[in-house]
Chains A and B, each alone.
Chain A
Amino acid sequence: MSDIKQQTLWRRVFMLIVVSVIAIALSACGTGEGDGGNAEGDSKEEITVAVVQDYPPFEYKEDEELTGFDVELVEAVAEKAHLKVNWKIMKFDGIIPALQANQVDAAVSAIGIREDRLEVVNFSDPYFESGLSLVTTKDGSVQSEEDLEGATIVAKQGTSSLKLANELAEKYNGEVTKLQDDATMYMELENGNADALINDYPSVAYKLKKDGKDSVLQIVGDKYPSEDYGIAISKGSEGLVEKLNTGLQEIKDSGEFDEIYSKYFAE
């Protein structure tokens, strides 16, 4: 009896130590995201902008800092329009609902300006021309669009890529898998759970560049046309469209836009 008691006591002490060590280690890591309102003193109007954090090169985190083409662009536009940006990170498929519910004022995340989206949110002028790519594994069974017969195609929830994936699946009697972020989509393909993937061309190009020579993935065929990207703006945010459009025009005129562009999309 006392033997068991002693055992549990030891286990408790041991677990306590383990847990403490983990807790201390984690708290030491500290996120360092102290966002203490900067005491600039100027009364800039604040806007909340929804963004994803896992879509390089448009938006991603580098050393805990949110960055990327979209992020820098919106920061620059907001600067011109005398606005202060509060970023709100979320999943892509939650962005439009958040705009509809007025939880955020605007959103940027390589969002294509689409008819159906225009019904529920406003868009700024387009700032990026894109396209969609069909991606497969180099040694896989799909080497051209025609090989998609009965294939499983993976795409991201709520995107234009998913629309195309559904069309292709219909055309070639395939299946569609929906995931929520890029990393898992590429894994799905690399693990062989999917035969092909549809994603925005810039994101695919970034992935291939990052993988370098080791990449098991390849782009098949030409780009499929897709919508231009714009900044999505909640219908409840009065006057924000004009402000952002003016800002966008200003940075295009000043050459700042090209600077940011070439930083992320240098050929």
Chain B
Amino acid sequence: METINVIIDALPTLLKGMGLTVEITVISLILAMFIGVMLGIFSITKSKVLRFISTVFVDIIRGTPLLVQILFIYFGLPSVVDISLTAFAAGVIAITINAAAYLVEIFRAGINSIDKGQMEAGRTIGFSYSQTMRLIILPQAFRRMIPAIVNQFIVSIKDTSLLSAIGLAELTLSGQSIYAENFRAFEILTVVGILYFVIIYSLSILSRWLERRLNVS
């Protein structure tokens, strides 16, 4: 009975934290998609400079742990550059650039996975490079990318829990604050886990629906 009460008392705080987790995830992933598409296109152009920019970005972000990036943006940068970021802004930036780096690779791989013959065929019937890209290559590539993109989204949602390190009261930190006070770690962490599952499972359902919608066969 007491267990139920502990959970009921904790729920408002946890749901607020869940709200913040969802908010950060949504903003970050929308921004990450833009950056990811842009750099993804950079990485398949003929321009060496653009390819270089994209490669350097991906290598740096993939080659360092997210937690270090978060701490670097929030505590490291402001002590050198004269900017003051809120924890929320720092969190969104960190998750965005991190997700973007992985999305770049997904886009690159997706576009490269389309057979060269498709491009040649498009050019043969008189389409320009960009028309072929837009009308023939990208629609096919995007369908193939969906599972990988959804996978990255799920990873990013879970990554937001690392933002507790900079005092952002998202779902994980909300949970920690509660059991730091009432010492009911088991109940609280169970609920926290369930709430994460709810967020991620909803996304999975959405992605399956999307895949079915885009299925040509």
Inter-subunit contact A180/B79 (CB<8 Å): no
Return B96 CB to nearest CB of chain A, in Å.
20
Chain B residues near A116: list those with CB within 8 A. Answer: 181-183
Type the 1/0 row for A142-184, where 1 means its CB is closer than 8 Å to any CB of B.
Answer: 0000000000001001100010000000000000011110001
**Chain B interface: which of A131-139, A187-195, A211-219?**
A187-195
Inter-subunit contact B183/A187 (CB<8 Å): no
Inter-subunit contact B79/A191 (CB<8 Å): yes
A96 at the interface (CB under 8 A from B): yes
Chain A residues near B182: list those with CB within 8 A. Answer: 116
Inter-subunit contact B176/A157 (CB<8 Å): yes
Chain B residues near A154: list those with CB within 8 A. Answer: 167
B173 at the interface (CB under 8 A from A): yes
Chain B residues near A177: list those with CB within 8 A. Answer: 87, 167
A228 at the interface (CB under 8 A from B): no
Inter-subunit contact A178/B177 (CB<8 Å): yes
In the complex, the chain B residue whose C-beta lies closest to that of A95 is B180
In the complex, the chain B residue whose C-beta lies closest to that of A101 is B185
Given contacts A93-B176, A157-B180, contact A191 B165 (CB under 8 A): no
Return A2 CB to nearest CB of chain B, in Å.
15
Could you write out 20 A-B pairs with CB less than 8 Å apart?
A: A93-B176, A93-B180, A96-B183, A100-B185, A116-B181, A117-B183, A120-B183, A157-B173, A157-B177, A157-B180, A158-B176, A158-B181, A180-B164, A180-B165, A180-B167, A184-B166, A184-B167, A187-B79, A191-B84, A193-B87
Inter-subunit contact B180/A193 (CB<8 Å): no
- Report which of B78, B164, B176, B179 forms a contact with A191, defined as CB distance below 8 A: B78
B75 at the interface (CB under 8 A from A): yes
B99 at the interface (CB under 8 A from A): no
Given contacts A100-B185, A184-B75, A191-B78, contact A179 B179 (CB under 8 A): no
Return A178 CB to nearest CB of chain B, in Å.
5
Return A99 CB to nearest CB of chain B, in Å.
9
Chain A residues near B84: list those with CB within 8 A. Answer: 191-193
B169 at the interface (CB under 8 A from A): yes
B86 at the interface (CB under 8 A from A): yes
Closest 9 CB pairs of A and B: A158-B180, A97-B185, A179-B167, A177-B167, A120-B183, A93-B180, A191-B78, A187-B75, A178-B167
In the complex, the chain B residue whose C-beta lies closest to that of A163 is B181
Rounded to whole angstroms, the CA-CA distance of A117 and B180 in the bound complex is 10
Inter-subunit contact A188/B180 (CB<8 Å): no
Return A1 CB to nearest CB of chain B, in Å.
12
CB neighbors of A among B172-195 (8 A): 173, 176-177, 179-183, 185
Return B87 CB to nearest CB of chain A, in Å.
7
CB neighbors of A among B107-157 (8 A): none
CB neighbors of B among A85-123 (8 A): 93, 96-97, 100-101, 116-117, 119-120
Chain A residues near B167: list those with CB within 8 A. Answer: 154, 177-180, 184, 188
In the complex, the chain A residue whose C-beta lies closest to that of B55 is A11
Rounded to whole angstroms, the CA-CA distance of A119 and B87 in the bound complex is 34
Inter-subunit contact A179/B166 (CB<8 Å): yes
Chain A residues near B86: list those with CB within 8 A. Answer: 193
Chain A residues near B181: list those with CB within 8 A. Answer: 116, 158
10 additional A-B residue pairs with CB within 8 Å, beyond A157-B176, A193-B86: A93-B180, A154-B167, A157-B180, A158-B180, A177-B87, A178-B177, A179-B167, A180-B165, A187-B79, A191-B78
